[in-house]
Chain A
Amino acid sequence: MISFDGFRPDGSGPIYMQIVSFVKRGIVSGEIADGDELPSRRVLSALLGLNPNTVQKACRMLEEEGILTSHAGAKSVVSFSEEKRAALRMSLVAESAAAAALRLKAMGVSLEEALRLVRGAWEEDEK
């Protein structure tokens, strides 16, 4: 069963999108494996303290993206292939990079300075 203990809603967009992101990040990081079960809508709704419609929306979105499959009863199972996971990883990575780039740009940072900052922070972290 997929755990939502680490789920922390913030102001970064509609809650159902944040749920979707949480699942995607879990897949990319490896915490969520192919075939892991998602708690039922009602349980998830109660666990997170969120309206069932919100949870339903998130689940529907995951289903549309092919990440979630509903089975008989209230069971939903996460399903993804390695390619899918790689693709998710790429899109999350691209999103992160784009967000950082736009933030720096909005503060008036030039491209060279941005690259310098990224390299600096990267190398700092490796120490």
Chain B
Amino acid sequence: MLEIKNLSKYYGRKLALDGVNLALPRGELVGLFGENGAGKTTLMKCVLGFLRHTGSVTLDGEPVGRRNIERIAFATSEHSFFPDLSPAGHAEFYAAHFPRFNRRRFDVLMDFFELPRRGAARKLSTGQKNQFEVVLALSQGAEYILMDEPFAGNDIFNREDFYKVLLGILGEDETVLLSTHLLEEVGGFIGRAVLIHKGRICGDVSMAELDERGESLVDYVKSAWNYRAERIERAIDELGGEGAQR
């Protein structure tokens, strides 16, 4: 279980994350939704230890550190591969550094996406880079895979392929935290939706529960952010009032 307890992060005076509590049990596919600047990326970077923060992040009770960091993988739209190294070279590097690197899965995914093994990674197209980034994250041998808007720039057919490949290849014990804007697309894929707004968790529901309630994911998100709709209504009212007075 990956447990995030009371995580807060300041950028200078600005509070980017405000007492975030989140528990990710093994095997869950979790969608992380929030507007730009809500804190999705910051949250993942804190979990990975890239940023200083208060609060704790533990893996099965142990703080995330050198000994267990290999159990967490990361795929980001910013990309994290080595630009001048070929995919084959990456496999070699990963094999040397991540004890549970899954060579077979790497090969299967590379073949599925038809990605070249040779040539510098920077020479891949944007779509291929996204695919390669995900391939690395999935092959690392990690139990918790954090993906930060991994499909930015891929067309819809590509993205549907992604979801299906993930579903086909992930083991029962593998956990995915996927942050994305694409609410409608991802609703069938995830089992749980977590909403984050201005650094705070403002929603956390299982898809099964939404099913019971007959509520769609889009509706749930809208209602969680309801106060924003009210603000717009109020503003329109006030403007309309001005017009009526003239």
Contacts and interface: CB of A to CB of B under 8 A. Distances in A.
Chains A and B share a contact (CB less than 8 Å): yes
Interface of A: 9, 11, 13-16, 42-43, 45-54, 57
Contacts of A51: 29, 167, 188-191, 207
Given A11-B216, A49-B160, A51-B29, A16 B188 contact: no
B166 to A, nearest CB: 8
B165 A50 contact: no
B167 A50 contact: yes
Interface of B: 29, 160, 163-165, 167-169, 172, 188-191, 207-208, 211-212, 214, 216
19 contacts: A11-B216, A13-B214, A14-B214, A16-B211, A42-B168, A47-B164, A49-B163, A49-B167, A49-B188, A50-B167, A51-B167, A51-B189, A51-B190, A52-B191, A53-B191, A53-B207, A53-B208, A54-B188, A57-B208
Interface of B is mostly: helix
- A-B pairs with lowest CB-CB distance, top 3: A46-B168, A14-B211, A46-B167
Contact of B188 (A11, A13, A50, A57): A50
A90 to B, nearest CB: 26
Given A43-B168, A45-B167, A45-B168, A50 B208 contact: no
A47 to B, nearest CB: 7
A42 B167 CA distance: 7
A47 B160 CA distance: 10
B90 to A, nearest CB: 25
Contact of A46 (B29, B164, B208, B216): B164
